[in-house]
Amino acid sequence: MSIALKKIKSILLLLFTVSCSSQNGVEKKEINVFFDLKDKAINKIYVNRDSTEARFSIYVEKYQTKVARDKATNDYYNDPRDRNSAGIPSFTASFISFNKPMKINSLEGIDILTLKQFRDKLFPHGYPMYFIYKSEEGCYLKWEVIHITY
């Protein structure tokens, strides 16, 4: 490889690195998702005793009903072409938090999405994400969450 080509590769790599790191200084809009604990779109919510960990499992819209999940499972097992695929479709999207929630008294001044709006956006990634719901005590709990995949 010629010296000129090596220099060009080095300069391009440097420019790419600078470009990526400069994006870190840009404040990203946060996504606040508000939902009712009794929403049928929620599969499970788990909060440990000291509230230092929470897990949220939300149904993918087309698999929200048991009938739809059973049909997808049966279709997978009855179609020999699907046996070579990645497996049974994922019925849920999972999120986890490793921090205690923020307690807030009001949603005033917070841009929120409903759970339906959030799912319609296909669980957007790359932004700070928070799940908010009303606690039994009457305040709102705001959990910083990250999307996890298995």
Tell me what percent of the residues of the chain surpass a pLDDT of 90.
49
At 89 the pLDDT is: 83
Please compute the mean of the pLDDT values over residues 20-49 and round it to a whole number: 79
Nearest-angstrom CA–CA distance, 54 and 48: 6
Please compute the mean of the pLDDT values over residues 37-52 and round it to a whole number: 91
Q: pLDDT-based confidence at 84, cuts 50/70/90? A: low
- What's the pTM value of the predicted model, to 2 decimals? 0.73
At 4 the pLDDT is: 58
Render 73-94 in DSSP notation, one character per residue. HHHHHH-TTGGGSS-SPP-EEE
Q: pLDDT-based confidence at 18, cuts 50/70/90? A: very low
